[in-house]
Structure 1
Amino acid sequence: MARSLDGLVLAPVADQAPGQVGTRTRFAYHERDGVVWAEYAGGDVVRGHLVGTREGDRLDFRYVQLKADGGTSSGHCAATVVELPDGRVRLEESWEWESQRGSGTSVVEQVTAHER
């Protein structure tokens, strides 16, 4: 199993659709006893939260976010935790909106202190 996500900050490696998470979004992760949660903000997202579980290298969570235009959205995501050769963590995600139509994949990676 890859190392704990607790205390890590991750960011998308590419922008998603306008009004969603993007490379300026930062996710502050927490993990304890198989429970994962994070707060996130940046770019078009004013505030977001996710909560779920971790079993081995698999995450399963739901997310909800407030966008800069005042709209809210929510969805479900399943992710695989991967440890990169340089020791950083990557999440390979498959997500689906529950509050609107749409689904896709994304990748977020641990950022270094100077990238935060």
Structure 2
Amino acid sequence: MNTDNGEVSQETIFYYRQKGDIVWATYEGGDILFGTLSGSITGDQLTFTYQHQNLQGDFKTGKCTSIVKFENEKLALHESWEWTCDDYSKGTSVLVEI
């Protein structure tokens, strides 16, 4: 789930890694050709920056805070994000473990 001004869709797959309180990921799919994010986790909150290239060839950047929840036996990230490029708009997303 994503607000209309975002580029992540149900077809976007994230591959997360963690070492201590450092978290990073790659992601791709849907309108995203390839992306990366990096940040940290404190308690149930992730804070990170991200960047990706979309299928139109545009490079996008942003920042995000996610709350980690356990719902229906799966991890879910409830995200509040903001573009740090273009219109600097804000949005929300929910990423669910597959």
Query: Is the pair's TM-score, using the shorter chain for normalization, greater than 0.5?
Result: yes
Q: Number of aligned residue pairs: give it.
A: 97
Deviation at 1:23, TM superposition (A): 0.6
User: TM-score normalised to the size of structure 2?
Assistant: 0.92
Alignment-derived partner of residue 28 in structure 1: 15
Report runs of 4+ in structure 1 exceeding 4 Å deviation: none
Q: CA RMSD in A?
A: 1.4
Alignment-derived partner of residue 93 in structure 1: 79
Greater shift, 56-65 or 97-106, is seen at 97-106
Whole-Å Cα distance in 2 between the matches of residues 56 and 49 of structure 1? 22
Match of 1:20, SS state, is coil
Whole-Å Cα distance in 2 between the matches of residues 37 and 19 of structure 1? 20
Deviation at 1:15, TM superposition (A): 4.8
Match of 2:47, SS state, is strand
1:109 aligns with 2:96: yes
Amino acid at match of 1:53: S
Alignment-derived partner of residue 78 in structure 1: 65
- C-alpha change, 1:41 and 1:53, in structure 2 (3 Å) is same
Deviation at 1:85, TM superposition (A): 3.7
